[in-house]
Chain A
Amino acid sequence: SQKIEQNSEALNIQEGKTATLTCNYTNYSPAYLQWYRQDPGRGPVFLLLIRENEKEKRKERLKVTFDTTLKQSLFHITASQPADSATYLCALLSGGYQKVTFGIGTKLQVIP
């Protein structure tokens, strides 16, 4: 069966350090992978999209990698700030790139 795995345990990191979150998947061949941020009581907010033929994508302090051989994406936040504390979700696109399936998310806590 298809699975998207994210570390469900919270990740605590010191302010200023780089946070790295992992998304692994099985039985998918996604052409696209996305990352979203979710704050308590709110809907997820889109951050970045990466295509299967892209190894890396950057946006300000964010970096995403996509390794289709390992079936893994890494999400990095450099120079982390307490305001980066949230749950981060990875999502895979299938079904003609229209069906969007989410992982359970990893909660990040940046400690001042």
Chain B
Amino acid sequence: GAGVSQSPSNKVTEKGKDVELRCDPISGHTALYWYRQSLGQGLEFLIYFQGNSAPDKSGLPSDRFSAERTGGSVSTLTIQRTQQEDSAVYLCASSSRTESGANVLTFGAGSRLTVL
């Protein structure tokens, strides 16, 4: 697609429920990133994928969080047994390598999660 697409754009859920957030990256982008941004805070790194594998999962806050990517394309971030502190905007970005070898990220609009 033309840009990074995230769904749902807004999700309100009850504490203890599971949620799935989806990211559809730019076609051909091999790297995919998930970040979390709480109100008034910076971007907290969660995980990134190179193809279907995740070299760095160090940012996942707890074992309630998991992510997968299939076919080197769509990624799903799953939060089990949601807690109120999980409320945030979840941002996805995809990337391809520039000529210099660095990844430049293109972000989606985010999925706003509210846990009541």
Residues of B within 8 A of A41 (CB): 109
**Given contacts A43-B110, A46-B106, A95-B55, are A102 and B100 in contact (CB under 8 A)?**
no
A79 contacts the other chain (Cβ, under 8 Å)?
no
Q: How far is the CA of A104 from the CA of B50 in the complex (A)?
A: 25
B109 near A43: Cβ-Cβ < 8 Å: yes
Q: How far is the CA of A32 from the CA of B56 in the complex (A)?
A: 19
Q: How far is the CA of A45 from the CA of B106 in the complex (A)?
A: 7
Residues of B within 8 A of A104 (CB): 41-42
A44 near B107: Cβ-Cβ < 8 Å: yes
**Given contacts A95-B56, A104-B41, A104-B42, are A43 and B104 in contact (CB under 8 A)?**
no
Residues of B within 8 A of A46 (CB): 104-106
Question: Contact residue range for chain A?
Answer: 20 to 34
Identity of the chain B residue whose Cβ is nearest the Cβ of A98 in the assembled complex: B103
A102 near B45: Cβ-Cβ < 8 Å: yes
Q: What 1/0 mask marks residues of chain A from 30 to 45 whose CB sits below 8 Å from any chain B CB?
A: 0110101000011111
Question: Contact residue range for chain B?
Answer: 20 to 34
B116 contacts the other chain (Cβ, under 8 Å)?
no
Of A42, A99, A102, the contact of B42 (CB 8 Å cutoff): A102
Q: How far is the CA of A44 from the CA of B101 in the complex (A)?
A: 20
- Chain A, 42-78, CB within 8 A of any chain B CB: 42-46, 49, 51
A89 contacts the other chain (Cβ, under 8 Å)?
yes
A101 near B45: Cβ-Cβ < 8 Å: yes
Closest Cβ of chain B: how far from A102's Cβ, in Å? Answer: 4
Q: How far is the CA of A93 from the CA of B48 in the complex (A)?
A: 13
Residues of B within 8 A of A45 (CB): 107
Closest Cβ of chain A: how far from B53's Cβ, in Å? Answer: 12
B48 near A99: Cβ-Cβ < 8 Å: yes
Can you report 20 A-B residue pairs in the complex whose CB atoms are below 8 A from each other?
A42-B109, A43-B91, A43-B108, A43-B110, A49-B98, A89-B42, A89-B43, A91-B105, A93-B102, A95-B55, A97-B102, A98-B31, A98-B48, A99-B45, A99-B48, A100-B33, A100-B48, A101-B45, A104-B41, A105-B42
